[in-house]
Amino acid sequence: MTIENLVPEDHFLRKLDRLVDFSFIYEETKEYYCHHNGRPSIDPVILVKYLLVGYLYGIESERRIEQEIQVNMAYRWFLGLDLDERVPDHSTISQNRRRRFGGENLLRRLFEHILHLCMGKGLVDGKLILTDSTHVKANASFQANVKVLAEHETTDYMERLDRYEAEERRRLEDSGAIKPQRTGCGKKERKKVEKTVSITDPEAGMLRRPGKPEGMHYLSHQSVDAAHGIVVDVAVTPGNTSDSEPYLARIEHMRNHLGLNIETTGADSAYGTSLIYRAMEDMGIHLHTPGATGGVNYKVEFTREAFEYKKEKDCFICPAGKELTLRSLEREHYNICRTYRADRKDCRACPMLNRCVSDSHRSRTIRVNIFEEAVRRQREKDGTPIHKHILKLRQIWCEGSFAAQKWMHNLRRLFRRGIEAARDHCLLSATALNLKRMVKCLE
Ligand code: SF4
């Protein structure tokens, strides 16, 4: 009796082995091994397969993976171990993973290798990419938290917003539409904010969202190709990051690094910020998100619709026939607005003052988001059958993938600490899902 004839021909791991040649791991890891001296070390392919068994079969602890490989013929066969061969100790695997490959992105390269394999087999076309995020519980005590005052971090999202603002300001100042900004009036100093930080895992973030469990979490931001549900990108952030924050950088990564020719994307309403709409339009990508809820709350009777925009003079005409001229460019939360204001003298003498101006103001102001037109153009397809179809696909592939990963591929919680461990964990979970979908499509 041999191990070869103990494993059924149609076993999932046999099918996987026929499709994926894991020997590329030797090439990827050759610089971490010395071939001339020292004790023979653990085979890097065995290390990767050992971890994959855990994520493919939902075995969370490395100690239990070792036990399962000892008694399961198919797992042994997949790792290339004979019936009487010793299974590598879980602590050896742990130490190798942490010390030898920690911070070396080996698991990202594994994820991308499998992804390129899927792309080569025609399972990814890259035309429609669907994105969502899910929370993964950090390995942190709920009680061991402290409150600290922290600086606002400069994020990629805010830097992009700054660039658009600088560009618009230069354009308006050069055309004489607004006065040049006085030196020192540019960026306001950002206030420090109070943050809850975990003592056991300071890199995790406090998740506080309606309908989600409160506590220290990481967020796995995952993008899925709509052709066969292959996960094409995984990014991990602390749990207190907004979904829109890493989105544009990840889209650029998929286009530039993976070479995907993205035409359309779908995401939930958290991604529908005006900056994202504008940046996506600049990239030539059509973004579909669910319709916006709510709108501007006016305290007065005259809403913006009561004012007529005159393009040639770049001003608004109010119901009393007075002009609201462009005065400044202002940052309002995450929006950049052109501010139009009526003359105080006109408003003071106006019989419609109390229908138009709130008590706290002396003249009427209208703020126009500089991305407004881009948002309008991108939202033109809202409610159409294709828009509804894309949002349905987003639910199926994104939420369906997360459900499968949480149920079967260890995405529910983390065993190790730190954002690097969280990233490796989410990448392995996505790799396991991709391998299963690849086998399902090709075998
Ligand atoms: S209050 Fe001012 S802006 Fe409003 S209608 Fe009168 S003049 Fe025009």
Cα 365 to the center of its chain, rounded Å = 36
- Co-location of 69 and 200 in the same domain: no
* 97-102, long-range: CB < 8 A, 24+ apart: 97/47, 97/51, 97/424, 100/29, 100/32, 101/29, 101/32, 102/420
Secondary structure (DSSP) of 70-82: HH-HHHHHHHT--
Asked, for residue 204, whether it belongs to a domain, the answer is yes
Ligand 1 within 6 A of CB of 352: yes
Closest atom of ligand 1 relative to the 351 alpha carbon:
6
- Residues 379, 391 contacting (CB under 8 angstroms): no
- Co-location of 37 and 137 in the same domain: no
Looking at residue 220, what is its pLDDT?
96
3-state secondary structure of 147: strand
- Co-location of 63 and 137 in the same domain: no
- Co-location of 69 and 118 in the same domain: no
Residue 281: domain span: 114-151+192-291+382-442
Closest atom of ligand 1 relative to the 324 alpha carbon:
3
Secondary structure (DSSP) of 1-48: --STTTS-TT-HHHHHHHH--TTHHHHHHGGG--SSSSS----HHHHH
Residue nearest to atom 4 of ligand 1 (CA): 356
Asked, for residue 253, whether it belongs to a domain, the answer is yes
- Residues 267, 130 contacting (CB under 8 angstroms): yes
Ligand 1 within 6 A of CB of 97: no
In this structure, the strands spanning 205-207 and 145-150 are unpaired
- Residues 129, 225 contacting (CB under 8 angstroms): yes
How many CA atoms within 13 Å lie on the side-chain side of 41? 19
3-state secondary structure of 106: helix
Angstrom distance (rounded) from CA 230 to CA 431: 9
Q: What is the pLDDT along the chain (443 residues), one digit of tens a residue?
A: 788 888 999 999 999 999 999 998 888 877 766 666 665 577 889 989 999 999 999 998 889 999 999 999 999 999 999 988 888 888 888 887 777 666 658 889 999 999 999 999 999 999 999 999 999 999 988 788 888 887 777 789 999 999 999 999 999 999 888 888 776 655 555 667 888 888 999 999 989 888 888 889 999 999 999 999 999 999 999 999 999 999 999 999 999 999 999 999 999 999 999 999 999 999 999 999 997 665 667 788 899 999 999 999 999 999 999 999 999 999 887 889 999 999 999 999 999 999 999 888 889 999 999 999 999 999 998 999 999 999 999 999 999 999 999 999 999 999 889 999 999 999 999 999 999 999 999 97
- Residues 416, 212 contacting (CB under 8 angstroms): no
- Co-location of 44 and 136 in the same domain: no
Ligand 1 within 6 A of CB of 317: no
Number of helices followed by number of strands (H, E) in the chain: 16, 13
- Co-location of 133 and 54 in the same domain: no
Asked, for residue 419, whether it belongs to a domain, the answer is yes
Asked, for residue 50, whether it belongs to a domain, the answer is yes
Instruction: Give the Å distance between the CA of 177 and the centre of ligand 1.
Output: 22
Output the domain CATH number for residue 429.
Answer: 3.30.420.10
- Co-location of 272 and 412 in the same domain: yes
- Co-location of 88 and 48 in the same domain: yes
Q: Which two tokens stand for residue 373?
A: 């037109």
Among residues 48, 69, 104, which one ends one of the domains? 104
Angstrom distance (rounded) from CA 435 to CA 20: 9
- Co-location of 424 and 278 in the same domain: yes
- If one residue of 298, 317, 357, 358 were mutated to test the ligand 1 pocket, choosing by the most ligand atoms within 8 A of its CB, it would be 357
Asked, for residue 30, whether it belongs to a domain, the answer is yes
Instruction: Give the Å distance between the CA of 345 and the centre of ligand 1.
Output: 10
- Residues 137, 230 contacting (CB under 8 angstroms): no
Angstrom distance (rounded) from CA 232 to CA 29: 23
- Co-location of 261 and 144 in the same domain: yes
Instruction: Give the Å distance between the CA of 318 and the centre of ligand 1.
Output: 6
Ligand 1 within 6 A of CB of 343: no
Ligand 1 within 6 A of CB of 341: no
Asked, for residue 387, whether it belongs to a domain, the answer is yes
Ligand 1 within 6 A of CB of 366: no
Structural domains of the chain, count: 2
The alpha carbon torsion through 360, 364, 370, 371 (nearest 10 deg) reads: 80
Asked, for residue 18, whether it belongs to a domain, the answer is yes
Closest atom of ligand 1 relative to the 321 alpha carbon:
8
**Short-list 276, 251, 247, 249, CA closest to 261:** 251
- Co-location of 26 and 139 in the same domain: no
**Short-list 120, 159, 190, 198, CA closest to 422:** 198
The count of other CB atoms within 10 Å of the CB of residue 107 is 22
Asked, for residue 311, whether it belongs to a domain, the answer is no
Ligand 1 within 6 A of CB of 315: no
The count of other CB atoms within 10 Å of the CB of residue 368 is 17
Ligand 1 within 6 A of CB of 350: yes
Among residues 75, 104, 133, which one ends one of the domains? 104
Cα 205 to the center of its chain, rounded Å = 15
CA–CA distances in Å: residue 282 to residues 68, 156, 343, 363: 51, 17, 36, 36
- Co-location of 234 and 93 in the same domain: no
Residue nearest to atom 2 of ligand 1 (CA): 347
Looking at residue 175, what is its pLDDT?
87
Looking at residue 244, what is its pLDDT?
92
Q: Look at the block and give the residue holding tokens 């971090």.
A: 153
Closest atom of ligand 1 relative to the 342 alpha carbon:
3
- Residues 254, 262 contacting (CB under 8 angstroms): yes
Angstrom distance (rounded) from CA 285 to CA 1: 58
In this structure, the strands spanning 264-266 and 286-288 are parallel
Q: Which two tokens stand for residue 428?
A: 């392995």
